[in-house]
A and B are shown apart, each in its own frame.
Chain A
Amino acid sequence: MSDTAAGLLSIAVLVLLLAAVYVPLGDHMARVYTSSRHLRVERLVYRLSGVRPDVEQSPRSYALSVVGFSLVGVVVLMAILIGQSHLPMSRDLPGMPFWMSFNTAASFVANTNWQSYAGESTLGFTAQMAGLAVQNFLSAAVGMAVAIALVRGFVRVKDGTLGNFWVDLTRGTVRILLPIAFVGAVLLIAGGVIQSFSDSTMHTLSGADQVLTGGPVASQEAIKELGTNGGGFFNANSAHPFENPSGYTNLLEIFLILVIPIALTRTLGTLLGRRRQGLAVLGAMVFLMAVSLTVVTVAEVGGHSATAQAAGAAMEGKETRFGEWASALFGMATTGTSTGAVNSAHDSFTPAGGGGVLVNMMLGEITPGGVGSGIYGILVMAILTVFVAGLMVGRTPELLGKKIGSRQMTYVALYTLTTPALVLLGTGVAMALGATPDTMGNPGGHGFSEVLYAYTSGANNNGSAFGGITVTSTFFQVTIGLAMLLGRLIPIVLVLLLAGSLAQQGKVPETAGTLPTHKPLFVGMLVGVILIMTGLTYFPALALGPIAEALA
């Protein structure tokens, strides 16, 4: 089979697999968040934690729970990382330095998984399992809880509450993430991903020594992809043969990355009682994903760069078993969601391919976005779209039976400004103060792209990198750490306040003048608004980086 046929067939099979689970998983998730029954294990969790599961929370209380839980998560994870030498299976490694532990804790709590350390030489097994992987689950469950709270804002009528955060968090973890992650982890082991608890030294044929590294890799790999986290057990992430040994595990990982963000559009439609609305949102996501995949694949397979032409193919930073097609597909999936795992070095992608994955993040992680954050992100863009449409025809904008007034638009405007401000200010300050040429791994425009990529990845909670950049200085640890935390928590608080303001309203009856938001016209307008917002915000920065490089 030719590379092209195999590549296209892989994409087709991925689409079929996602389509097969779309309805059952989407509806399962809808039931999870609406069921009035608590599982026995959940009751135990509530009792041990001292939370009352049947209390409905106000938006303010819900937001304080999210913020409090996240801050506690940062502190506890920092303590684990700094004190890891006292934990079992520490591999005799010392504790992590303070600012690196801050950066790492912020990163994993914010569902970003930006990594300024190399896992195999920095972390013991307990720190990985009981520290990082726990946040992989919980940060993903937080994202889903916030998305569901926003959907409740649209569904509820004249209601001051959004549900119970602790219940949403626990159910998302126990009923959705844990079972799928377990099955995924076992399927990964079947494909050769390791799950062992010891390192050993081997004497190779050619007389050298090589360490056979162990680790609870499969368990971490499964939730790392499923929770759109992305933090690798090893420095090379999903390019490492122990994390991703074959074409089969590669497709399974891409499936795990995409499955929840995609199926959540079904959950949205089901909870709203408007299934076609879920499909419309999915349509906008899929269109942008298809464009992005085409750009990245054409660039990588075509080898449109100086080095690729010199070598004969764009294989620098790519594994033989994946090649260009499977690397481009993974690159699209990991940056279109807020995952940030990589199976190839994005830094060595062609200018158009590397620019493509960068723009994917700049879209705001909504194609299809992180677990939960993709849904609330694209709903915010949908509100912006009905607002723009309302301005054009001179009607009060409304979405899903809720009026979009000045209060809602204030939250939406602040939401859409937060991440770009963090990206552009972060990059600007770094270029002025922290990013000397020797911190960049490459000369010229590409060095600037590395800095731009770092803050884009951090503030959008992606976590992948143009890895040539050296980010271990206190300047980078602190600023990227703050970009990740603020890029996570500010939008979440705004979304919850927005949800509260919607829940308080009555329902506006639909009339002949209501803009239908489940039809292709709206999907087209939504895509247009997303592209225009991204273009206006980031074009100047892109012009200095990947565009300059592609034209050079």
Chain B
Amino acid sequence: MLTDLTRQSLAGLRLLLVMTVLLGVGYPLAVWAAGQAFGDRAEGQPVSYDGRVVGSRLLGQQFEGERWFHSRPSANDYDSLASAPSNLGPSNPDLLALIAERRAQVAQTEGVDPTQVPADALTASGSGLDPHISPAYAALQVPRVARANGLSEATVRRLVAASTTGRSFGFLGEPGVNVLELNLALQRAD
């Protein structure tokens, strides 16, 4: 049996090497070539401001301070080399404490009642790089951002609407507001 196994393994090794060329080199290169038809979609959709790349439309960033829209909490501080969720369990007391702390903090920052803070502002995302916030969390931040930037709330609401991505084809997934796009629009409006 052992000689039989050795013989089979040798055939397997040769087949594996052949397949490695086909599947491990040929296939990804063919996909890459086809992907060129989609422009910067295959490159992570970098966005520029003032002639330099300031981020990717798909990667969330940390924004702090009065004048920006804030992203969701992140378990990895938006480090794109360490994507991760918090993995805190559904009855974990540490997570309960974090949620209470974030609720108080967001309510204070936005000057609203703590019960008005939406869930996505209180929870870390699955990737730690969520580019979106819910329309509700964006709406909550509008008055503060408008004030800090000296813009009218109506203007800021218009910018929010322009940065809102609906469900794909109107029904797949959930709507979200792209925070980087929105803050860039804000920067340009200033």
- Residue pair B16, A138 in contact (C-beta under 8 Å): yes
Using known A-B contacts A69-B12, A170-B15, determine if residue A205 contacts B183 with beta carbons closer than 8 Å: yes
CB B140 to nearest CB in A, in angstroms, measures: 13
Q: Which residues of B contact A348 (CB under 8 A)?
A: 85-90, 95
Complex alpha-carbon distance, A85 and B40, angstroms: 29
- Residue pair A212, B56 in contact (C-beta under 8 Å): yes
17 pairs, CB–CB < 8 Å, chain A vs chain B: A45-B19, A68-B9, A182-B27, A200-B53, A205-B49, A212-B44, A213-B80, A216-B28, A218-B35, A239-B85, A307-B91, A310-B99, A317-B124, A319-B130, A319-B132, A321-B176, A442-B88
Which of chain B's residues has its CB closest to A119's CB? B83
Using known A-B contacts A166-B11, A216-B32, determine if residue A317 contacts B86 with beta carbons closer than 8 Å: yes
Q: Which residues of B contact A350 (CB under 8 A)?
A: 90
- Residue pair A178, B91 in contact (C-beta under 8 Å): no
Complex alpha-carbon distance, A120 and B80, angstroms: 8
- Residue pair A211, B81 in contact (C-beta under 8 Å): yes
- Residue pair A206, B68 in contact (C-beta under 8 Å): yes
Which of chain A's residues has its CB closest to B4's CB? A64
Residue A468 interfacial (CB < 8 Å): yes
CB B72 to nearest CB in A, in angstroms, measures: 7
Bits for A145-182, please: 1 = Cβ < 8 Å to B, else 0: 00000000000000000000010011001000010011
Count residues on chain A whose CB falls below 8 Å from chain B CBs. Answer: 121
CB B60 to nearest CB in A, in angstroms, measures: 8
The segment from A128-136, A261-269, A493-501, A529-537 found at the interface with B is A128-136
- Residue pair A446, B34 in contact (C-beta under 8 Å): no
Using known A-B contacts A235-B82, A326-B173, determine if residue A319 contacts B125 with beta carbons closer than 8 Å: yes
Residue B18 interfacial (CB < 8 Å): yes
Complex alpha-carbon distance, A322 and B168, angstroms: 10
Residue B143 interfacial (CB < 8 Å): no
Complex alpha-carbon distance, A342 and B183, angstroms: 30
Q: Which residues of B contact A133 (CB under 8 A)?
A: 23-24, 27-28
Residue B161 interfacial (CB < 8 Å): no
- Residue pair A68, B5 in contact (C-beta under 8 Å): yes
- Residue pair A323, B184 in contact (C-beta under 8 Å): no
Q: Which residues of A contact B184 (CB under 8 A)?
A: 205
Complex alpha-carbon distance, A189 and B62, angstroms: 26
Contact of A319 among B81, B95, B127, B183 (CB under 8 A): B127
Most chain A C-beta atoms within 10 Å of own C-beta, residue among B49, B56, B125 = B125
Using known A-B contacts A186-B35, A321-B173, determine if residue A442 contacts B15 with beta carbons closer than 8 Å: no
Residue A514 interfacial (CB < 8 Å): no
Using known A-B contacts A68-B12, A202-B53, A319-B130, determine if residue A247 contacts B173 with beta carbons closer than 8 Å: yes
Using known A-B contacts A64-B1, A319-B125, A351-B91, determine if residue A49 contacts B23 with beta carbons closer than 8 Å: no
Interface residue ranges of B122-146 to A (CB < 8 Å): 122-134
Q: Which residues of B contact A321 (CB under 8 A)?
A: 130, 132, 165, 173-174, 176
- Residue pair A134, B171 in contact (C-beta under 8 Å): no
Q: Which residues of A contact B128 (CB under 8 A)?
A: 236
Complex alpha-carbon distance, A64 and B12, angstroms: 11
Q: Which residues of A contact B189 (CB under 8 A)?
A: none
Count residues on chain B whose CB falls below 8 Å from chain A CBs. Answer: 101
Which of chain B's residues has its CB closest to A194's CB? B44
Q: Which residues of B contact A314 (CB under 8 A)?
A: 90
Contact of A1 among B11, B27, B62, B170 (CB under 8 A): B170
Contact of A354 among B54, B90, B95, B134 (CB under 8 A): B90
Q: Which residues of A contact B91 (CB under 8 A)?
A: 305-307, 351, 444, 446, 549, 552
Bits for A310-346, please: 1 = Cβ < 8 Å to B, else 0: 1111111111111101110000000000000011110
- Residue pair A442, B44 in contact (C-beta under 8 Å): no
Complex alpha-carbon distance, A163 and B78, angstroms: 52
Q: Which residues of B contact A347 (CB under 8 A)?
A: 85, 87-89
Complex alpha-carbon distance, A238 and B44, angstroms: 15
Residue B52 interfacial (CB < 8 Å): yes
Bits for B81-122, please: 1 = Cβ < 8 Å to A, else 0: 111111111111101100110000000000000000111101
CB B4 to nearest CB in A, in angstroms, measures: 6
Q: Which residues of B contact A418 (CB under 8 A)?
A: none
- Residue pair A443, B168 in contact (C-beta under 8 Å): no
Complex alpha-carbon distance, A49 and B17, angstroms: 8
- Residue pair A10, B58 in contact (C-beta under 8 Å): no
Residue A114 interfacial (CB < 8 Å): no
- Residue pair A251, B167 in contact (C-beta under 8 Å): no
- Residue pair B119, A315 in contact (C-beta under 8 Å): yes
Q: Which residues of B contact A68 (CB under 8 A)?
A: 5-6, 8-9, 11-12
Contact of B122 among A211, A312, A343 (CB under 8 A): A312
- Residue pair A71, B9 in contact (C-beta under 8 Å): yes
- Residue pair A211, B133 in contact (C-beta under 8 Å): no
- Residue pair A241, B131 in contact (C-beta under 8 Å): yes
Q: Which residues of B contact A239 (CB under 8 A)?
A: 83, 85, 125-127
CB B183 to nearest CB in A, in angstroms, measures: 6
Complex alpha-carbon distance, A317 and B25, angstroms: 34
Interface residue ranges of A31-82 to B (CB < 8 Å): 45, 48-51, 61, 64-65, 67-69, 71-73, 76
Using known A-B contacts A178-B23, A216-B31, A467-B87, determine if residue A242 contacts B15 with beta carbons closer than 8 Å: no
- Residue pair B88, A323 in contact (C-beta under 8 Å): no
CB B176 to nearest CB in A, in angstroms, measures: 4
7 new A-B contacts, CB < 8 A, other than A1-B170, A166-B11, A236-B128, are A138-B19, A195-B31, A234-B83, A307-B88, A318-B123, A318-B125, A345-B126
- Residue pair B24, A212 in contact (C-beta under 8 Å): no
